[in-house]
Structure 1
Amino acid sequence: MSTESADRVATPTPDPHVVTPEPTNPGSAQGAASDGRAAAKATGAMLASRVVIAALGWTGSVIIARILSPEAWGHYTFVFALLGLMAIFTDLGVGRAVMARLIVDDPDEVARTASAFIALRLLLGLGGYAIALIYVVALGYPGEVIRATAVAGLVVVVATPGHALTVVFQSRHRLLLSAMAESLGQTVQLALTIAAALFAPYLLLFVLAPVVNEVLALVIKAVGISRRDGGLRPSRHVEFARWRPMLLDAAPLAIGFALTVALQKVDMLLLSILDTFDAVGVYGIGYKFSDILDTFVLAAAGPVATLLVAAWPHEPGVFRRRCRGAAAAFGAGGAVAVAAFWPSAPQVIGLLYGERFVVGAFAARMLVLGATFTALIVLGIYLLASAGQARSYPLVAFGGLVLNVVMNVILIPRMSYDGAAIATVATLGSVLVVLWIVIVRTLPIVGLFPLGSVMTLAAVTALACAVGTPAARIIPWPVVSVSTALVVALVALPLVRASARAPGRHAKVHGVTS
């Protein structure tokens, strides 16, 4: 039986939550959102952009880490960790109400939804900026940190509506302009970073460069969407009444994302309180590596989310196949990254950032592993949101946040940044398991998570790391890293293909798997 035939096997008794597939007009907005080839091209564009952004951003961080003093680097790391935490207040996620109304065939509805969404995101960005400033002032952080937050915090104000424009483009899988804008912005940021390093190596100038990056990217996206045909141009009139349904529909997802961001970033805030800024700087190096994986995941998750929204609920087989394929691909990407980095982490950190940061190699390894868990968590969140079932996730994320805070408070005084890393990875692993249990029990489709493939990848990756770590002390580390990554990739490729095919029936009938 072919894959397409298996996807559309009828169940003996129609499930009330699984609607019989209806044909999709390829020329419609819904058809554009369901276009797998367009999604693949959009994903490719965003991933290529993320490669450029990651390389340029990494280069900039190496320059800054080597030039600033340990304390000043700790200040820099803390400020951007705090601003990342502001996503609690600024990121609605891709709410089902927003995405669902962006893929309709009424250009006027799309325009009004887009303008309301962009305006709301701008207001949330301003709120996030204010909260970040109030936090550092109220807790009595050093004046250098307060000034850096005041300047760097403008990133939140600009990037928040910029992301809203990306969501609008994403609704039709037209992400090439966004990818180009963000790559160009990162290029300018690196140029400004190099200029500051050569002529005026001050913290405030280093934190100004990302602001210029976001402003440039926003301008390019705004000009592009204002000239874009095809029903994507936002209305000049903002209907504030649309905010209420957006907020109500997105509230569970927004709260869940906010709590997820908090449980990922609260370790940095607690480390700054329970330890020193020098420790924050060492720990921040680990996040430089894990953030690369996070960046790729978020780039790929956008088009995947659009496909899932378009497939639910009319095409449960397609929904299942795309979910399994994405989960296997995300797991494989994370496994390859862990296999490449784990054996040679001390050597890579020493080469790029200097010997004083090598002490944080264990924490960096753990954070890269945690980023693999985060990839599957993000997919699970989008999965629940696309099916309109995100209400259960905030409770899972809240439990994870509480666990993370408790573990950090216990472990940081005893193990510093290593304790923070252990707490964060243990929390992410727990949230991952609980989240997918919730998905299995909530959605009327079976086999959404390719457990066998993921467990096989985990076992192969653990073995590769166990062999590669001592080997990297004897054999040149680039050879070891390439070899371990290649071994895992060769195992992962057929597993991803097999998971995406997912033959067989796909729906639950009266509580029984069919």
Structure 2
Amino acid sequence: MSKARKIAKNTVFLFISQIISYILAFFYMIYIARYLGADGFGILSFALAFTGIFSILADLGLNTLTVREIARDKSLTGKYFGNIILIKIILAALTFGLVAVAINLMGYPQEVKIVVYFVALYSILTSFYGIFNSIFQAYEEIEYQSIGQVISNVLLFAGVIIGIYYGFSVLGFAFIFFISSVISLIYIFLVYIWKFPPYKMQLNWSFWKSAIKEALPFGLTGISGMVYTYIDSVMLSLFQGNEVVGWYNAAYRLILALLYVPITINTTLFPSMSQFHLSSRDSLNLITEKYFKLMVVTGIPMGAAVTILADNIIILIFGYGYQRSIIALQILIWTTVFTFIGAAFIRLLEATNRQLIVTKISAVCVVVNIALNLILIPTLSYVGASIATVVTEAILVGSVIMIGYKFGFGVSKNRINEILLKVTVSTLVMSVLLIYFKIINLLILAPFAVLAYLAVLYLIKGIDDMDRYLFKQIIKRR
């Protein structure tokens, strides 16, 4: 199989598996939230957030390092597999120990502790089958990872349905997460021993130190991301209690689902941006501009629409027991808008070998986020946590865009102003229609609003000849 065909095959497998996985995860989280109520959902959300922060310690970037090194030299497979597995066993024990000590020092009830233990085991085992996925990636056999991802989410979805049917408590659902990770690990192990020859385990103690040192930068980036994503839920649990965590996470889970859009586009455009960095600065700036425009055209109207329709969305998805999640969603959606706007510039810095800048900015934003949460949560509760999240993301995106201009990359200020003006006008027209026709069923109103927005954007020439040309090329390739 040619290189191009293999890349295309892997992209298709990964794209389809991610869509299926996101849909399954979206629905089983909704079912859990509706069934357990805000208090029970808050306990589970806290456990996922709390163990998520610690889970990166079970990997420390070793999975990423494994992909890079084995992809360069397949003869290193045995050396990396044998040593990394043993390192991960030690890291797993340390991680679980730290989780156990921390949760006990924090004085949570016994039920919450047991939920955290099960979810911690789930997170640790997920890290373990990451090493097998790393080898699949290095050999460009992505289909096995993709299938495993779908199997894991199917197991969770089925487990949630069974749990609801038999009336499980929050402990039962935590156990479902644990069991799903055990079965997924068995699957990935069986595929590994079937697909790959039995490599000789090469234990090398001096390798441990160099591998951890090489992997640590990846791990630090991961730690920043995990803390930034989950620390607000942990702090809400400490200061406000489980029910508040449930209200907050009902909105937050919807926000995380929307991030699938830039993640998918990032995966698709990154190779081209990296190539243009070496071959054509003009092409790099053009693709960055089009990426930025696509995210603005998508993000700003989405933010306005969700703000207006937040009550309809929350009640439709989670029910009347989560009405207090409405204001959280109205605020948090603008975190996603900023993420969309900054996505092109973050990818730009990474494509031009300036990823360390992004890591440093992320680390600063983690500190800012924690400080804001400490100030705002005691007085404003989950609303304060929502505000802290939006402000932090705005700082991150603003910093990345300014640095992009510093290095002479990105989108001209005139183009940014032109794009923002036309998108804002189109969004205002759409917003007026949404407010006026808000009583219409959400499933009918949403596509109507999208069509109205696109029509206005087209009429005021927000979609230019180049946009139409690129769209036609994409359609032809498909």
Q: TM (normalized to structure 2)?
A: 0.80
Deviation at 1:284, TM superposition (A): 0.9
**What is the aligned counterpart of 1:264 among 212, 229, 245?**
229
What is the alpha-carbon distance in structure 1 between the residues aligned to residue 215 and residue 291 of structure 2?
23
Alignment partner, residue 22 of structure 2: 54
| 2:358/2:400 contact within 8 Å kept | yes
What is the alpha-carbon distance in structure 1 between the residues aligned to residue 107 and residue 387 of structure 2?
28
Q: How many residues align?
A: 463
Deviation at 1:143, TM superposition (A): 1.3
Deviation at 1:160, TM superposition (A): 1.0
Unmatched tracts of structure 1, length 5 or more: 1-25, 502-514
What is the alpha-carbon distance in structure 1 between the residues aligned to residue 453 and residue 8 of structure 2?
23
Alignment partner, residue 39 of structure 2: 71
Q: Are 1:130 and 2:93 matched, yes or no?
A: no
What is the alpha-carbon distance in structure 2 between the residues aligned to residue 167 and residue 321 of structure 1?
33
**What is the aligned counterpart of 1:198 among 151, 165, 173?**
165
What is the alpha-carbon distance in structure 1 between the residues aligned to residue 335 and residue 165 of structure 2?
35
Residue deviations 1:327-378 (CA, integer Å, cap 9, x gap):
5556666557546644322112112211121221121233333234446667
What is the alpha-carbon distance in structure 2 between the residues aligned to residue 308 and residue 460 of structure 1?
30
Counterpart AA for 1:355:
Y
Deviation at 1:256, TM superposition (A): 3.1
Q: For residues 27-426 of structure 1, what are the structure 2 equivalents within 5 Å?
A: 32=3, 35=4, 38-90=6-58, 92=60, 98-104=66-72, 106-109=73-76, 112-113=79-80, 116=83, 120=87, 123-171=90-138, 173-228=140-195, 236-239=201-204, 241-295=206-260, 297-298=262-263, 301=266, 311=275, 315=279, 334=299, 338=303, 341-374=306-339, 384=349, 388-426=353-391
Q: 1:462 to 1:494 in 2, by over 3 A?
A: closer
Which of 373-382 and 418-427 deviates more?
Answer: 373-382
Counterpart AA for 1:89:
L
Counterpart AA for 2:119:
A
What is the alpha-carbon distance in structure 2 between the residues aligned to residue 257 and residue 435 of structure 1?
18
Q: 1:409 to 1:457 in 2, by over 3 A?
A: farther
Counterpart AA for 1:54:
Y
Q: 1:252 to 1:500 in 2, by over 3 A?
A: farther
Q: 1:404 to 1:161 in 2, by over 3 A?
A: same
What is the alpha-carbon distance in structure 2 between the residues aligned to residue 103 and residue 253 of structure 1?
17
Q: For residues 443-482 of structure 1, what are the structure 2 equivalents within 5 Å?
A: 446-447=409-410, 452=416, 455=420, 459=424, 462-463=427-428, 466-467=431-432, 469-471=434-436, 473-482=438-447
Alignment partner, residue 473 of structure 2: none
| 1:349/1:361 contact within 8 Å kept | yes
Unmatched tracts of structure 2, length 5 or more: 471-478
Deviation at 1:471, TM superposition (A): 3.4
| 2:78/2:202 contact within 8 Å kept | no
Q: 1:306 to 1:455 in 2, by over 3 A?
A: same
Give the match's secondary structure for 1:474. coil
Deviation at 1:421, TM superposition (A): 0.6
Which of 173-182 and 387-396 deviates more?
Answer: 387-396
Counterpart AA for 2:378:
P
Q: 1:458 to 1:224 in 2, by over 3 A?
A: farther
| 1:97/1:245 contact within 8 Å kept | no
Residue deviations 1:270-307 (CA, integer Å, cap 9, x gap):
21122122111100101220121235554664565667
What is the alpha-carbon distance in structure 2 between the residues aligned to residue 118 and residue 324 of structure 1?
43
RMSD: 4.0
Greater RCO, 1 or 2 (C-alpha within 8 Å, sep 6+): 1
What is the alpha-carbon distance in structure 1 between the residues aligned to residue 297 and residue 8 of structure 2?
17
Q: 1:115 to 1:367 in 2, by over 3 A?
A: farther
Percent identical pairs in the alignment equals 18
Q: 1:355 to 1:246 in 2, by over 3 A?
A: same
Give the match's secondary structure for 1:81. helix
What is the alpha-carbon distance in structure 2 between the residues aligned to residue 109 and residue 241 of structure 1?
15
Q: 1:182 to 1:96 in 2, by over 3 A?
A: closer
Give the match's secondary structure for 1:365. helix
